[in-house]
Amino acid sequence: MSRLIAVVVLSLSISGFGDPVYFSNKRGNAFYSEGKYDKALEEYRKAQAGDPGSAPVDYNMANALYRLGKYGEAARAYARAMASSDKDIRRRAAFNRGVALYKGGSAAVEENRLDEAEKLLKESVSQYKTVLKEHPADNDSRHNLELALEKLEQVRKRRREQSRKDQSENNRENKNDSDNNKNKDKHEQTKTDGKQTESKTAEPDDEKQDMTRENPKTDDRPRNISREQAARIFRAMEQDERELRKKLRARQAPEAPREGRDW
């Protein structure tokens, strides 16, 4: 930026001998000129406590906060100073507030806090537009406005890229989940098919066993035969029985007890 901040510190008119606000502000200005911004801030806070509505004190405090890198607090202090009845203080505070917002937005970008960065840069742009409405010939404000707009566009581009990246990652995760679910369903289906196959394989055996249990043997079934056939069967059975007795007698004869034999 061609003009980052107005480094002018403001002095207070003496309101009375030994006025603590006046001397605190004066000591703050001395520390500020020496680059001791933390000590300057302490003195400005003392002055503000004694005179909370002092626009020059708010302005000087805002400058010290800015130098310490506390851009948010600086922007708020500049905003209070813009309520001054002094036209010069209002103009300086308005310009410097735009700078503080820009710096805060840039810091947020570096820390990848893009939402906050966009908000601060939009406020910076709005602040410079307000300054230019009142002071169209302020080339420094116009230059800073262009830089703020450029930085804002960079942030928005990064946010779009981040959004696309996040969406792509979500789609990838959803696809992986979907594939995992499909594989799981396929695995479950395979297990189910295996069980069905086992069941189908077992069913014929069960049916066969059931049939074996339910159906009596064919030999046990009664047969319808004629009287003549029955007579022949009985005669054959009697003949077989006589033959069997003969064989038994012949086989049993040698096994008769031997009586009267000396050993």
pLDDT band, residue 209 (cuts 50/70/90): very low
Position 163 confidence tier, pLDDT thresholds 50, 70, 90: confident
Q: Mind listing the pLDDT tens digit for each residue in 177-199? A: 666 776 766 666 666 666 555 54
* Residue 24 Cα to chain centre, angstroms: 52
**Residue 207 has what DSSP assignment?**
H
Over residues 92-149, the pLDDT tens digits come to 999 999 999 999 999 999 999 999 999 999 999 999 999 999 999 999 999 999 999 9
pLDDT score of 35 more than 90: yes
More confident position, 198 or 205:
198
Spatial CA neighbour of 141 closest among 126, 120, 122, 119: 126
Q: Does the pLDDT at position 206 exceed 50?
A: no
The residue with greater pLDDT, 259 or 44, is 44
Q: How far apart are CA 30 and CA 20, in angstroms?
A: 15
pTM (2 decimals)?
0.62
Separation CA 14–CA 81 (nearest Å): 19
CA angle 74, 79, 85 (to 5 degrees): 130
Contacts of 11 by beta carbon, 8 Å cutoff, 6+ apart: 25, 26, 29, 56
> Does 183 or 77 have the greater pLDDT score?
77
pLDDT at 210: 37
pLDDT at position 30 is: 96
Percentage, residues of the chain above pLDDT 70: 62
Q: For residue 196, what pLDDT is reported?
A: 58
Whole-number pLDDT of residue 170: 78
- Residues with Cβ within 8 Å of 56's Cβ and at least 6 positions away in sequence, in order, are 10, 11, 12, 25, 81, 84, 86, 89
Among 60-64, 178-182, 244-248, the least confident range: 244-248
pLDDT of 103 reads 96
List domains and CATH numbers for the chain: 20-163 (1.25.40.10)
Q: What is the mean pLDDT of residues 37-51?
A: 96
The pLDDT of residue 169 is 79
Mean pLDDT of the chain: 78
